[in-house]
Amino acid sequence: MEKLQIDLGEKIYPIYIGSGLLGSLREYLDTADQWVMITDENLDDLYGEPLRQAFAGKTVYKVVIIPGEESKNIDTVTEIIDYMHEIGCTRQSKLLAFGGGVVGDIAGFCASIYMRGIGYIQVPTTLLAQVDSSVGGKTGINITQGKNIMGTFYQPQGVISDVALLRTLPKREFISGLGEVVKYGIIYDYAFFQYIRAHKEKILSLEQSSIAYIIRRCCEIKARIVAQDEKENGLRKILNFGHTIGHALESITNYEKYTHGEAVWIGMYNEILLAQRAGLIKQEYFQELQDFFIDMGIHYDLPGYDTEALLDKMSKDKKNLQGKISFILPVDRGSVVEKHLTREEIRW
Ligand code: GLY
């Protein structure tokens, strides 16, 4: 088992990465008298029993939500908060998020608002959550008009990433999460991008040492970025590469057609094209990235979508400035810039 730390000065918390870590949850449970676990129906079917055994001797209340982005709304939050109040949760109670990005975002948000904030831990079960959403304390839910519009920065007390949980992850979800992995290579660490490209087959066949390495490297990079800029005033924005178009795409397709990771893959590809149209990226590097996306066989087009509808969604993005839409665009190997563009500059 490896241990990394997120060091935010007065707040420090561990990220554990390893295989078969569910047993170590018991240690955490002793830090509170009352726990509520938030999970989803799929995970409850798969892991309900092993978790019950891991929790032996402790009462852990459970809220099981419907899987998928459609649950990430205020109704789910209200249900959870009402339930917690009904069973007598106090400020000393804690939440445990057992799931992917949706579960983690909802549980973190509930932890941040219940009685003005209680402790929580993240046990991410998808690649995407293990490399990105469970780390760094972003919580939130969607509103009809856009993604993660209601939310908080609220750090967990620990993250336990069990690589063994990925064995039951559907292939589609794994490939989705890989988009966020590739993102770290493009925004921050070209050598890591080269590693992913060179180990593509091993990664896709879930070879344990490659998987453990990519999760650790992503968490290291994220820990470094979040330690410098917890509230996304500067550097942390680079983590949004692919997300301006990605979030708009998820939103206009009602969160039904694409997983978040698929939308990020498509968003990254189209933002690379945008960087080329804007003359920001070196041509040779552009070609290298394009070849990589094509080689990965990722669905990367934006076929037939209403450009104006996408632009309308993007113009509501929380990172915009003075009516211009914020993008993180690649310029060179391991290097990106933030650009604010008008609708006319973006229109394809
Ligand atoms: N998922 C982007 C961030 O945590 O900042």
Full DSSP string of 215-241: HHHHHHHHHHHHHH-TT-SSGGGGGGT
Q: Is 199 a catalytic residue?
A: no
Q: What is the pTM of this model?
A: 0.94
Atom of ligand 1 nearest to the CA of 135: 4
- Here the tokens at position 142 are 């969607």
pLDDT mean over 282-286: 97
Can you give the residue range of the structural domain that contains 130? 2-165
The reply to whether ligand 1 has any atom less than 6 angstroms from the CB of 138 is yes
176 and 155 within one domain: no
178 and 161 within one domain: no
Give residue-wise pLDDT tens across range 1-51: 899 999 999 899 999 999 999 888 887 888 899 999 999 999 999 999 999
184 and 135 within one domain: no
For residues 126 and 165, give the distance between their C-alpha atoms in angstroms, rounded to a whole number: 8
- Of the pLDDT bands very low, low, confident and very high (cuts 50, 70, 90), residue 285 is very high
278 and 315 within one domain: yes
Question: CB burial class (10 A; 0-12, 13-18, 19+) of residue 36?
Answer: buried
Q: Is 86 a catalytic residue?
A: no
189 and 125 within one domain: no
Task: Give the mean pLDDT of the chain.
Answer: 94
CATH number at residue 31: 3.40.50.1970
328 and 184 within one domain: yes
Last residue of a domain, one of 119, 144, 165: 165
- Is the pLDDT confidence value at 249 over 80? yes
142 and 188 within one domain: no
Please tell me the total count of domains within the chain. 2
Phi, psi values for residue 183, rounded to 5°: -50, -45
The reply to whether ligand 1 has any atom less than 6 angstroms from the CB of 132 is yes
Last residue of a domain, one of 140, 165, 190: 165
257 and 161 within one domain: no
271 and 207 within one domain: yes
158 and 102 within one domain: yes
Instruction: Quote the distance between the C-alpha of residue 110 and its chain's center.
Output: 17
CATH number at residue 198: 1.20.1090.10
| DSSP H or E run through 3 | strand 2-7
- Here the tokens at position 160 are 């336990």
Active-site residue identified among 69, 72, 230, 240: 240
113 and 69 within one domain: yes
Active-site residue identified among 72, 147, 216, 222: 222
Q: Whose CA is nearest to atom 5 of ligand 1?
A: 239
- Find the range with the poorest average confidence among 48-57, 99-108, 293-302, 305-314: 293-302
299 and 244 within one domain: yes
For 296-334, letters b (16+ CB in 10 Å) and e give bebebebeeeeeeebbebbeebebeeeeebbbbbbeebb
Q: Is 138 a catalytic residue?
A: yes
The reply to whether ligand 1 has any atom less than 6 angstroms from the CB of 236 is yes
Active-site residue identified among 180, 230, 262, 271: 180
Last residue of a domain, one of 165, 183, 216: 165
